[in-house]
Chains A and B, each alone.
Chain A
């Protein structure tokens, strides 16, 4: 067989699949956001348990520091401060902070919200990995929450007044056999920082389908440009 015959055969393959099924690329982008990544699922399942436990403890003693209630692995991670300079190893965990909503991006089926953590303390502090989160009802009781971590955790050092960002994507259509429409909706979102006893409750109506699935990015230094005010 000569090259010509192989070219002919591959031409035929191309011809047979002249019109492959294609998707609307915007649907692809949306599906990418919604995707529960398998490579983070196992870790996330463990973390979700940790997050719920941490939330429960936080409810019991909201002011108490919780050095043991980490939501991520405790393996040391190379320092990556916002300035690019190595962080001193003795940097304390961020405990004095404010949390604000800095933007969002809505889609059919899900919503992404961006949050900004500002260090309100007088010294630099450290943020590692992911924020913790649980949906709560009107009485402030935790609702089922399934955290999915998306991305690799980093360690940030926030100077006084420094800001870190993270995004949370929630699903607002029923998942699998969950049944419509994932009611009652959560009445708040309780967010807490790793290794910190401080929590912030962001009131609002959140449809949290998929057993309260929330896909979270790690803390990062710049706001996500896809978020809208």
Chain B
């Protein structure tokens, strides 16, 4: 992966990756940091990554790992990332989104990862199974449990979406 390819990959994927990181981690600032941390690592490992078919899947994997168990131990990385001069994030998310993210954080990480890949990432069950190294049946089971858990926590219909959809 040369500089131009990296830059193109970054520009094409950064929004999606930040969205994914936010859904997985539940904090906008941390999500920005995690996503950029993943790109830093991608550039450091560009020789290996050049052989991968789906770099975005690799980036999501890094974000997932970081946000589930490693990030707290890597406080110094916050400092390194601040040197990037990332601007402050925009207006805070709406209450609906905060509730969604809080509900996501309350479910086990595998279920969370599956349901975020499905609804936010738009991946098919088979693709999620491939990315998570699980069978399609397992992914369907995770999705069903995650839906049930979110159902239980998000009882109010969303009010401020772009359009009202029938319940």
Contacts and interface: CB of A to CB of B under 8 A. Distances in A.
Interface string B141-167: 000000100110010011011110111
Interface string A54-83: 000000000000000000000000000000
B80 A29 contact: no
A21 to B, nearest CB: 5
Interface residues of B, number: 58
Interface in B41-61: 41, 43-44
A13 B22 contact: yes
Given A4-B166, A9-B96, A17-B28, A23 B90 contact: no
A14 B154 CA distance: 18
B100 A13 contact: yes
A9 B32 contact: no
Given A17-B19, A31-B81, A34-B80, 6 more contacts: A2-B167, A4-B165, A10-B120, A13-B101, A17-B90, A20-B32
Interface of A: 1-23, 25-29, 31-32, 34-38, 150
B125 interface: no
A27 to B, nearest CB: 5
A150 B47 CA distance: 14
B166 A17 contact: no
A33 to B, nearest CB: 8
Interface of B: 3, 6-7, 10-11, 14-15, 18-19, 22-23, 28, 31-32, 35-36, 39-41, 43-44, 74, 76-77, 80-81, 83-91, 93-94, 96-97, 100-101, 115-116, 119-120, 147, 150-151, 154, 157-158, 160-163, 165-167
B11 A25 contact: yes
The main secondary structure of chain A at its interface with chain B is: helix
Contact of A7 (B10, B19, B119): B119
A13 B93 contact: yes
B142 to A, nearest CB: 14
Contacts of B15: 17, 20, 22
A7 B85 CA distance: 33
A21 B120 contact: no
Nearest to A109: B83
A13 B10 contact: no
Given A27-B85, A31-B80, A32-B44, A8 B158 contact: yes
A20 B150 CA distance: 25
Contact of A17 (B18, B40, B81, B157): B18
B119 A6 contact: yes
Contact of A1 (B77, B86, B120, B154): B154
B119 A28 contact: no
B158 A5 contact: yes
A130 B90 CA distance: 45
15 contacts: A2-B167, A5-B165, A5-B167, A6-B147, A9-B119, A12-B160, A13-B93, A13-B97, A13-B120, A14-B19, A20-B19, A20-B35, A22-B14, A28-B36, A38-B74
